[in-house]
């Protein structure tokens, strides 16, 4: 495959942009090689600067759930730009957007728009702290909540010790307020809570994790967290930046029947534009400025172009439940195809999937938390990634990512992915 133009651009990029990219995973460091630079995309396909065609499994990490350059969303954006790009004043579409989100996600009574998932999670924990008057938060190892300081914290050595900064530039003071538990481990959460009585403002998690690869909550885990939070007056925050509007119209919380106090949203909510949101119980959200004392603001929040794209996306999803039926069927078809190939080849790798999210882990162990995800053979994944790329399949360039299916994938595309997967496994394992 010729990627000469991409290679040239990447060389140049490294002179002017740290690491050559505006978000680290794009640099392909986890899989080696040079990243492909994308020029355009339509439906299930992306095209790179050398005009190679790939079938999409990243879909902008989720937002392109209807495939690329969807005509309805394009039209909404074209229409909106006729009326200027931004006002910094309230607009009709923000009201429509808020009303629609509240109707689609029942646990949300009030919602505030922001510009990214990172802003949503940062703001949600600030409100939770303002509401409870407590400082500490609990998060889970392997979950990602954007790049806010409070989330870039590694677990301490003992279960009840303070965390330590996971990035230079994050202060020890901030790290002291973030406690980390293993995913799917209710007992560890209870231990943390007992050791920090009346100090914990919020517990935040991805209800289905996408950011250590796709990892599902164990039976009863989410309900157990809900119970602990109720007993201890802790604000339960579900970070549905990835799962919101993807695993169901009302997100993972609808699918698993759990009602959080706050929810953070992003990715799909902007239809590909930079949008995030946080919302939940009215009594908590009424603490947000100017209704309440917790400050949070944004010059471009609720931007009219972004709202037009997002509103059109959400309205479509709200009106077309068959989207989710199709995504479920596509996910199932893909997984069954992968499983059949692995059986044929005598392989026993772990395949985690729910709806339109999946990860093939290069380990025989069940993957239920971060240590088990890390038991994967990472160099082997790197070879698999490139074998797939060579066959025209564009995957997330890390073992610790979920793939995201779109409704633009038809049976013929899914068949091609299944075939490429089998060929790639044979190639990298010399079978
Ligand atoms: C992507 C993501 C974020 C961060 O969103 P950005 O828009 O990249 O800032 C937060 N939480 C989860 C679960 C995510 O997947």
Site residues for ligand 1, CB cut-off 6 Å: 116-118, 121, 144-146, 206, 210-211, 239, 241-242, 266, 276
Ligand 1 mean position, distance from CA 241 (Å): 6
Q: Pick from 244, 235, 180, 230: which is nearest to 203 by CA? A: 235
DSSP bridge pairs for 138: 179, 203
Overall pTM > 0.85:
yes
Which residue in 48, 110, 139, 144 is the catalytic one? 144
Helices (H), 52-185: 71-81, 92-104, 117-132, 172-175
Residue 144 known to be catalytic: yes
Residue nearest (by alpha carbon) to ligand 1 atom 15: 242
Structure tokens at 356: 């339109």
Q: 239, 287, 369, 384: which is the annotated catalytic residue?
A: 239
- Residue closest via CA to ligand 1's atom 6 equals 117
- Among candidate residues 249, 267, 349, 369, the one labeled active-site is 267
The whole-number pLDDT of residue 155 equals: 77
How many Å lie between the centroid of ligand 1 and the Cα of residue 270? Answer: 12
Residue to mutate, 21, 125, 145, ligand 1, most ligand atoms under 8 Å from C-beta: 145
Distance of CA 80 to the CA centre of its chain: 27
Atom of ligand 1 nearest to the CA of 23: 8
Q: What is the pLDDT of residue 191?
A: 96
Q: State the pLDDT at residue 394.
A: 98
Q: What pLDDT does residue 163 have?
A: 79
From the CA of 267, give the closest atom in ligand 1.
7
Report how far ligand 1's centroid is from the alpha carbon of 211 (Å): 9
Q: 10-residue block means of pLDDT along the chain (431 residues)?
A: 97 98 96 97 98 98 98 98 97 98 98 98 98 98 97 74 85 94 97 97 98 98 98 98 98 98 98 98 98 98 98 98 98 98 98 98 98 97 98 98 98 98 98 94
**Block residue for tokens 């702290």:** 129
Domains within the chain, CATH numbers bracketed: 4-69+321-429 (3.90.1150.10), 71-319 (3.40.640.10)
- Integer-rounded Cα Rg, in Å, for the chain is 21
- Contact between 104 and 242 under an 8 Å Cβ cutoff? The reply is no
pLDDT value of position 154: 86
Residue 339 annotated in active site: no
CA of 266 to the centre of ligand 1 (A): 7
> How many CB atoms are closer than 10 A to CB 392?
15
Task: Take residue 386 and report the two structure tokens written for it.
Answer: 């490139």
Count Cα atoms within 13 angstroms, Cβ side, for 97: 31
Question: Tokens representing 65?
Answer: 């759930």
**From CA 137, how far away is CA 199, in angstroms rounded?**
8
Q: How many CA atoms lie within 13 A of 91 on its CB side?
A: 22
Structure tokens at 338: 């992968």
Active site residue 283: no
User: Would you state the structure tokens that stand for residue 218, as one six-digit string?
Assistant: 């164990």
């Amino acid at each position: 495959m010729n990627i000469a133009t991409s290679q040239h651009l990447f060389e140049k990029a490294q002179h002017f942009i740290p690491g050559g990219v505006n978000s680290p995973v794009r640099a392909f460091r986890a899989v080696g090689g040079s990243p492909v630079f994308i020029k355009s995309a339509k439906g299930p396909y992306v095209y790179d600067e050398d005009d190679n065609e790939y079938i999409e499994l990243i879909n902008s990490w989720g937002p392109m759930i209807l495939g690329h350059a969807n005509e309805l969303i394009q039209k909404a954006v074209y229409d909106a730009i006729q009326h200027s790009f931004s006002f910094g004043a309230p607009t009709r579409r923000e009201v429509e957007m808020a009303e629609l989100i509240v109707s689609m996600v029942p646990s949300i009574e009030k919602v505030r728009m922001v510009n990214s998932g990172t802003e949503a999670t940062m703001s949600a924990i600030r409100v939770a702290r303002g509401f409870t008057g407590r400082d500490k938060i609990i998060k889970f190892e392997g979950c990602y909540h954007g790049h806010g300081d409070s989330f870039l914290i590694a677990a301490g050595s003992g279960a009840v010790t303070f965390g330590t900064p996971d990035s230079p530039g994050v202060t020890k003071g901030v790290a002291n307020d973030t406690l980390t538990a293993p995913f799917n481990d209710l007992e560890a959460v209870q231990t943390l809570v007992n050791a920090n009585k009346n100090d914990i403002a919020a517990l935040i998690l991805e209800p289905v994790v996408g950011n250590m690869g796709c990892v599902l909550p164990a039976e009863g885990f989410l309900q157990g967290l809900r119970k602990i939070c109720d007993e201890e007056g802790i604000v339960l925050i579900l970070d549905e930046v990835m799962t919101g509007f993807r695993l169901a119209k009302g997100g993972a919380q609808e699918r698993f029947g759990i009602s959080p106090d706050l929810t953070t949203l992003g990715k799909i909510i902007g239809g590909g534009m930079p949008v995030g949101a946080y919302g939940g119980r009215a009594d908590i959200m009424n603490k947000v400025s100017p209704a309440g004392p917790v400050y949070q603001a944004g010059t471009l929040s609720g931007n009219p172009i972004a709202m037009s794209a997002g509103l059109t996306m959400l309205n479509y999803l709200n009106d077309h439940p068959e989207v989710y039926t199709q995504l479920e069927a596509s996910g199932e078809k893909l997984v069954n195809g992968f499983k059949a190939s692995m059986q044929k080849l005598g392989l026993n790798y772990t395949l985690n999937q729910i709806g339109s999210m999946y990860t093939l882990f290069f380990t025989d162990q069940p993957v239920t938390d971060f240590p088990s995800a890390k038991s994967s053979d990472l160099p082997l994944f790197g070879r698999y990634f490139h074998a797939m790329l060579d066959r025209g399949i564009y995957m997330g360039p890390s073992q610790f990512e979920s793939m995201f299916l779109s409704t633009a994938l038809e049976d013929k595309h899914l068949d091609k992915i299944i075939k490429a997967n089998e060929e790639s496994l044979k190639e990298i394992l010399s079978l």
